[in-house]
Amino acid sequence: MALDHISIAVQDLEKAGQFYDAVFGLLGMTRIADRPGTVGYGKKFPEFWINARPDMAPVPADTGVHIALRAISEDTVLECYQAALANGGTDAGLPGARQAALTTYFGAFFKDPDGNKVEIVTFPKTE
């Protein structure tokens, strides 16, 4: 099994699009599909969709859901975090070393303008 794509709801598609353009550009992802009501980001095909839901209820702060995306370096994690905060996102976990189930990693958490929690991670290279 392989994960094909993820879709999230946003209240303001234009605002969310500006946010994800800034963050995803640093990860090498671009707008591949741009339609009324939805935008798809990816490297070769749309892997991450934002879908306009203007009347949606706010995302609960304690939803427990987050999306983790992999970066190539700690510097990229930091750049994504900074881009998120500069484009309407909020802090949800400062950049730094963390312990995962199987290894340590470097990551940062933030929330998009709608409150969706995103994590950018990079893992140490093994030889």
What is the per-residue pLDDT for 11? 96
What is the per-residue pLDDT for 62? 85
What is the overall mean pLDDT for the chain?
Answer: 94
Say how many domains are in the chain: 1
Examine residue 90 and state whether it is found in any structural domain, yes or no: yes
Question: Which range of residues forms the domain containing residue 74?
Answer: 6-51+66-122
Contacts of 5 (CB under 8 A, 6+ apart): 40, 42, 46, 47, 48, 49
Examine residue 22 and state whether it is found in any structural domain, yes or no: yes
Examine residue 99 and state whether it is found in any structural domain, yes or no: yes
For position 17, which CATH number holds?
A: 3.10.180.10
Examine residue 73 and state whether it is found in any structural domain, yes or no: yes
The answer to whether 108 and 11 have CB atoms below 8 angstroms apart is: no
Examine residue 108 and state whether it is found in any structural domain, yes or no: yes
Examine residue 60 and state whether it is found in any structural domain, yes or no: no
What is the per-residue pLDDT for 69? 94
Q: How many CB atoms lie within 10 A of CB 124?
A: 10
Examine residue 32 and state whether it is found in any structural domain, yes or no: yes
Residue ranges, the chain, pLDDT below 70: 126-127
In the numeric block, the tokens 């987050």 are attached to 66
Examine residue 57 and state whether it is found in any structural domain, yes or no: no
| pTM of the shown model | 0.92
